[in-house]
Structure 1
Amino acid sequence: MRISALIIALSFTLSAFAQDYDFGDVSKEELQEKFNPSDSSASATYLYKNRRTYFDYIKGLGFELKTEIHERIKIYNKDGFDYATKQLNLYKNGNTKESISPIKAFTYNLENGKIVEEKLTKKGMFNSETNKYFNKVKFTMPNIKPGSVIEYKYQITSPFWSNIDELVFQHDIPIKKLESNIEIPEYFNFRINTKGYLTVNPTTDSKTEYIRFVNKTRNQGSGYSASSTTTFNTSEVSYSTKISKYEIENVPALKNEPYVNSINNYRSSIKYELSYTKFPYSQIEYYTTTWEDVVETIFKSSNFGDELDRTGYYEDDIDNIVSSISDPERRMSLIFDFVKSKVKWNGYYGKYTDDGVKKSFKEGVGNVAEINLMLTSMLRYAGLKAHPVLVSTRGHGISLFPTREGYNYVVTYVKLPDGNVVLLDATNKYSVPNVLPLRALNWQGRVIAEHGSSELIDLYPSVASKNTITMMAKLDSEGGVEGMIRSVKTNHKALDFRERYVEANKEEFLEKLENKYNGLEVSDYAVKNDVDLSKPVMESYNFFKENQADIIGDKIYFSPLFFLRTAENPFKLEKREFPVDFGYPSSTTYRVIVTIPEGYKMESMPEPSAMALPDNLGEFKYNISGKGNSIQLIISTKINSSIITPLYYDALKEYFNKFIEKEAEQIVLTKA
């Protein structure tokens, strides 16, 4: 009797904790959950993610790729409201395009102890065209509150069976349970590429499927009055389908960290890349297998290689610009400036042209490929050795394996007669030779030569970007400080400043500057060389700020960098698996002269100091001296490498800790 009772109790307990993920079966326990037990900082959690991707044979059309999605998300607070909006990109090529089934979606809330559901309606759904290659479907769930659970399902049908969407195992929020099936017929051979630090191994199975053909035959009877008959013959072809099942529970959130080029580079996922197809009674057809194949495919596209050969639309303009110029570098610069002023970037990335270089030139607007393929063509016409460079932007990630989707951007490579190599990007009006926009600084690009051959090139600059800051400051006996600041910025430091300043509302720009330093009062603000790209940017202003010193009795304590000192170490994790990507090498130098209040003298000041990162990755120098009522301080910090591997993370973290502590050290004044 006791054993039976125990079995019944145990069965009840197990059923109580068993999770049902059938669509619509949202539980009170899910709605009552206040935080994720494994990650209390999470603003939302995927309670369940299910995906099934398979091939379906359609008579007269062939195979279609279908992907079914079912997701359930718990929202804990307002920061998680963003997860109530879903955006989908549907690929198209001419009249051939992907489609989506009607979206079934509900929001669930707990009201007075009862589960209340609200259905997604057409008011929450939006369809738009992103560009000639993508349509966008976006939906926002109704009646979202802290504590809501949302659930949706849909199916995407694609005629582009060579492109299986990446199977992602990690997101910015935790996942409690993930299930995915990828089902591939024997006619398709996909290479499987994995990335990330979370290992997920599938279980495999197979099943037999059939393609049925029905043939109709009409037979005409004999004789004058004989009627015809129709005969139907059915035949079928069987084939094997491999099923890969991925199941994983309690996946931690992949949280972004400072100085990561793209967190997607480290997001655990699997990409299926079509290698070849082998259909019955047909020869093997190979697809992307090597980078050479990728480059050849891109180069032979009419929206890439053919666009490089078009010259008639610009020849007169280029002749007028460079006909009297013999210096190759000067020719390059003039053509570069011409394209930047002639064609405005429309904000679209892409390795292929949309409207074509000729139309973009005429209308003065184009995407990345149109602008930089045009630039490349013009430089070649002017007698320079120029080639396009395929790039994957920082947000797009790094292509670890050969894939046609690996690149989404184009810049221009020029090799001058003296052997110097220059990289150009005419989409940014403030860019100068060898100073690419930050979005394009992502490891290596692939230079495509005239006949489609290629080689890799490092996109990171070798020359450091500099910021030299001079501050003349006068400290008063109440702890306030006033004075003048001047900064001189070069290369990427100058590019970043120009992007933020030139077209900004100047009042708002100054307000941001004052807020950056928590109430700094700025006057006589001035900028030189903001649009003269041949010179460094020079910024200057007068300032006043209160409470920059502690006054205790007859002594004054203050840091000689005042509000300019680094307050916080960006590297807080005990361990880091990702490289630290600073984007470019840089150096910052502070030259500070502080006048102390009358009636005070220096009692003590910090000692000079120097430290360095291993392998010449960076250095910090601190020199200070004082005489009479004046203090002179020179601080220089250098990061000599764009990328620092995780091997040096502990050293880098300690380096930042030490120089932050050094900058915080105080001078002590006492009354004379």
Structure 2
Amino acid sequence: MRSTLILFSLCFALTAFTQDYKFGKVSKEELQEKFNPLDSSASATYLYKYRRTFFEYIQSEGFRLVTDVHERIKIYNQEGFDYATEQIRLHKNGSDEEEINSIKAYTYNLLEGKIEETKLTKSGIFKTERSKYLDETKFTMPNIKEGCVVEFRYKILSPFFSNVDDFVFQYDIPVKKLDAIFEAPEYFVFKTNAKGFLSVIPKTETKRDKITFTSKSRSGNYVSNTSFHSSDINFTKEVSSYNLANIPALKEEPYVNSINNYRSSMQYELSYTKFPQSPVKYYSTTWEDVVKTIYKSSYFGEELNKTGYFKEDIDAIISSISDPMKRTALIFDFVKSKMRWNRGYGKYTNVGVKKAFKEHVGNVAEINLMLTSMLKYAGLNAYPVLVSTRQNGVPLFPTREGYNYVVSYVKFPQGSILLDATSKYSIPNVLPFRTLNWHGRVIAEKGGSTLVDLYPKQKSKDNISMMVNLNEEGIIEGSYRSVKTNHMALSYRQKYNKANEEDFLEKLENKYSDLEISDFQVKNKNDLSKPVIESYKFNKESQADIIGDKLYFSPMFFLKTVENPFKLDSREFPVDFGYPAATKYQIIIKIPEGYKVESAPEKVAYSMPDNLGVFKYNVSLSDNTMHFLIILEMNQSIISPTYYDALKEYFKQIIEKENEQVVLTKV
């Protein structure tokens, strides 16, 4: 169904569009529009999205890349206010940096039948340094109200002609009209890589252009005469144009690593340059080229070779230890205790490993390149691993921009482990959730590389046991205990250890709709060698329906799942759980005196094809006590969209079973 809608909407791509999108020509009809006719759920709509990226020749500098942007956005309600903020990333490298200029922006509101304009002033534009390699210019439009239209345009000047930002065609909100143009002189040869399920094909044509050179000369012995001369160099350029209309929004769905992986876009990658009277110069077109370029960087490979700043500390730690696994564990724990992550991402260091070590704080690269270097110094087969985080997307094509993170890889005769010292609660082969994104690229000393699967093979477990006393008024009281391992333990520790316990308890009680908790305890919150254990006593009212002389209740009470996360008729991209998991519930219910079990859910076992998932539900009775054992397993981190119907039905069956009721009747 979804694919049909997308193809149908693209049929409008080359049709005439009568709306005037000249900057400043916002109409009353646009301001009066209450919702998007093709998507009434949209909080905002791109009325017009324009981008032109082209090459401009500056005689004193050479070629530079220029991008013109013009956007007009309709905001229907408060949920759409976020689209009134524009954030522009500007790359830099040493003295070379991208610039933004010619920002012009207005907010339009309809006031008593007249269009009111509010201009964005310079004081509303902010520039922030994000890292050594990235700045950000940000502005939020003034006078934002429900029903307003915002419009802005600006120009980006870039010396990095090999780094063309992707042309994106699909967004989180619908687009009524999109025009995009990319122009490349014959001296620059690009290859294209398309991404996403919405197929877009450009119109390409060759045009003539020219570069005009000017020079001046002086003549005369006593009176200087200056004359100017100009000459032209003619060349051809390839122009790719995209003209689309009524592009549907790309909706967020549950269990997606990054929705950007599936967003329709076109990447222009510089393959080589060929200037007159100059040899052909090739750029990164293979992963081998990319890896060698990264490794040779002074902010990566050279940082790995620095050892003087940590020798004394590491010698003291491992001097009496010969076992490689124990050495690895000691160095890993040392870095985690020594360093604090500053939340900075990147494959390159910022201040450098030596300074970061001295100040006890660093970005991802500084901490994990430091860890890798220490492990190598200790005689271990350790290597850095390039990673693209879940939000950064999957690097489908060879590009240096595809990776934004580094972890460590250690190879042993019996296998290998992955380490990330930025997380205090991470253990070997249990990486932070943000890094669980398909494959990482292990880099060897000379720049060679191989892929490593970042998804864990070992299941994360949560064993839950609950003792429940149910009275004839439908009130339950009892005890709860949860034992979590691996990623489930990591996630729990991250949430609990950084929270105020009172606030944590309040959120827990609210999660289960006013559950009353007492005697709350957490064991092993910092002992990573053991599972984290959460326990408490509870009391909760209205957990059984009383009808006549009968009680009706779900034996999972407040723990039951009530809503299927998979609602779409079909799904075009994988379901990504991040890690395989198993949850086991052992629930013992003591029924009230004077009642007997009239009926109870039957034993069942469900499974998905190819053993992707297993659900077991067992029940037994003894005197006035009911015993339930419920097991839910997802055996794979990633579920292919070909299994989506089976997964959706699997969860439907589970939810129906968890909500089945026990019926008690008075004796």
- Please, what TM-score do these two structures have when normalized by structure 2? 0.97
Q: What corresponds to 1:606 in structure 2?
A: 601
Q: Distance in 2 between matches of 1:59 and 1:448?
A: 41
Give the letter aligned to residue 48 of structure 2.
Answer: Y
1:218 and 2:214 correspond: no
Q: How does 1:39-78 map to 2 (within 5 A)?
A: 39-78=39-78
Are 1:197 and 2:197 matched, yes or no?
yes
Equivalent-residue separation in structure 1 for 2:574 and 2:546 (angstroms): 43
**Which AA in structure 2 matches 1:34?**
K
Q: What are the equivalent positions in structure 2 for 1:207-606 lying under 5 Å apart?
A: 207-221=207-221, 226-416=222-412, 418-606=413-601
Alpha-carbon separation, structure 2, partners of 1:576 and 1:487: 33
Q: Aligned partners of 2:233 and 2:78: how far apart in 1?
A: 54
**Shift of the alpha carbon at 1:127?**
1.6
Structure 1 residue 501: deviation in Å?
A: 0.4
Alignment-derived partner of residue 147 in structure 2: 147
What is the aligned partner in structure 1 of residue 642 from structure 2?
647
- 1:30 alignment partner in structure 2: 30
Instruction: State the alpha-carbon separation in 2 of the partners of residues 309 and 250 from structure 1.
Output: 54
87-96 or 318-327, which deviates more: 87-96
Name the SS for the 1:312 alignment partner.
coil
Distance in 1 between the 2:49 and 2:102 partners? 19
2:85 maps to a residue whose letter is: T
SS at match of 2:102: coil
Offset from partner CA, 1:313-356 (integer Å, 9 cap, x none): 00110000011011110100000000011111110110011111
Q: 1:122 to 1:235 in 2, by over 3 A?
A: closer
1:349-393 deviation per Cα after TM superposition (whole angstroms, max 9, x unaligned): 100111110010001011101110000000000010000000000
Q: Judge which range, 601-610 or 202-211, deviates more.
A: 202-211
1:545 aligned partner, one-letter code: K
CA distance in structure 1 between the partners assigned to 2:235 and 2:441 by the alignment: 40
Write the letter of the residue equivalent to 1:167.
Answer: F
Give aligned-pair identity as a percent. 65
State the Cα distance separating 1:398 from its structure 2 match: 0.4
Displacement after TM superposition at 1:48 (Å): 0.3
Counterparts of 2:113 and 2:233, CA distance in 1: 55
Aligned to 1:211, the other structure's residue is in SS state strand
1:254 shift after superposition: 0.3
> Could you tell me how far 1:231 is from its partner in structure 2?
4.3
User: For 2:126 and 2:448, how far apart are their aligned partners in 1?
Assistant: 43
Q: 1:615 aligns with which of 591, 610, 613?
A: 610
Match of 1:126 in 2: 126
Equivalent in the alignment of 1:180: 180
Q: Return the alpha-carbon distance in structure 1 between the equivalents of residues 236 and 376 of structure 2.
A: 52
Distance (whole Å) between structure 2 residues aligned to residue 213 and residue 597 of structure 1: 96
Kindly provide the CA deviation profile for residues 23-52 of structure 1, in whole angstroms up to 9, marking residues without a partner as x. 111111111110000000000000000011
Q: Is the counterpart of residue 635 in structure 1 residue 630 in structure 2?
A: yes
Alignment counterpart, residue 657 of structure 1, candidates 631, 652, 655:
652
Deviation string, structure 1 residues 160-211 (Cα, Å, up to 9, x no partner): 1111111100110000000011011010011111100111111112222212
Question: Helix, strand or coil for the counterpart of 2:128?
Answer: strand
Aligned residues: 652
SS at match of 2:297: coil
Aligned to 2:108: 108
Kindly tell me: are residues 126 and 484 of structure 1, through their superposed partners in 2, closer, same or farther at Cα, counting changes over 3 Å? same
Q: 2:299 & 2:224 partners in 1: Cα distance?
A: 54
Greater displacement, 87-96 / 206-215: 206-215
Structure 2 Cα separation of the partners of residues 277 and 419 of structure 1: 47
What is the aligned partner in structure 2 of residue 12 from structure 1?
A: none
Letter in 2 for 1:315: K
Q: Which amino acid aligns with 1:107?
A: T
Deviation at 1:586, TM superposition (A): 0.3
State the 1:132 CA deviation: 1.4
Query: Aligned equivalents of 1:346 and 1:602: distance in 2?
Result: 57
Listed one character per residue, the Cα deviations across residues 81-115 of structure 1 (whole Å, up to 9, x for unaligned) are 01011111111112221111131111111111111
CA drift at 1:135? 1.5
Q: Which residue of 2 aligns with 1:9?
A: none
Q: Secondary structure at the match of 2:491?
A: helix
Q: Over the residues paired in the alignment, what is the CA RMSD in angstroms?
A: 1.1
The one-letter code of the counterpart of 2:665 is T
Report the Cα distance in structure 2 between the residues aligned to 1:330 and 1:560, rounded to whole angstroms: 46
In structure 2, C-alpha distance between the alignment counterparts of 1:657 and 1:454, rounded to whole Å: 43
Shift of 1:17: 8.5
* Deviations 1:481-516, CA, capped at 9 Å, x for gaps: 110000000000000000000121111100110011
1:281 Cα deviation (Å)?
Answer: 0.8
CA-CA distance at 1:629 after TM superposition: 0.8
Distance in 1 between residues matched to 2:354 and 2:251, nearest whole Å: 44
Partner in structure 1 of residue 168 of structure 2:
168
Larger CA deviation: 111-120 vs 166-175:
111-120
Structure label with greater radius of gyration: 1
Q: CA deviation at 1:121?
A: 1.4
Aligned mates of 2:500, 2:447 — CA distance in 1: 46
- Inter-partner Cα distance in structure 2 for 1:644 and 1:627: 40
Structure 1 regions of 5+ residues with no counterpart? 1-15
Partner of 1:669: 664
Per the alignment, do residues 470 and 44 of structure 1 end up closer, same or farther by CA in structure 2, a change over 3 Å counting?
same
Note the C-alpha offset of 1:220: 4.8
Q: Separation in 1 of the partners of 2:195 and 2:181?
A: 18
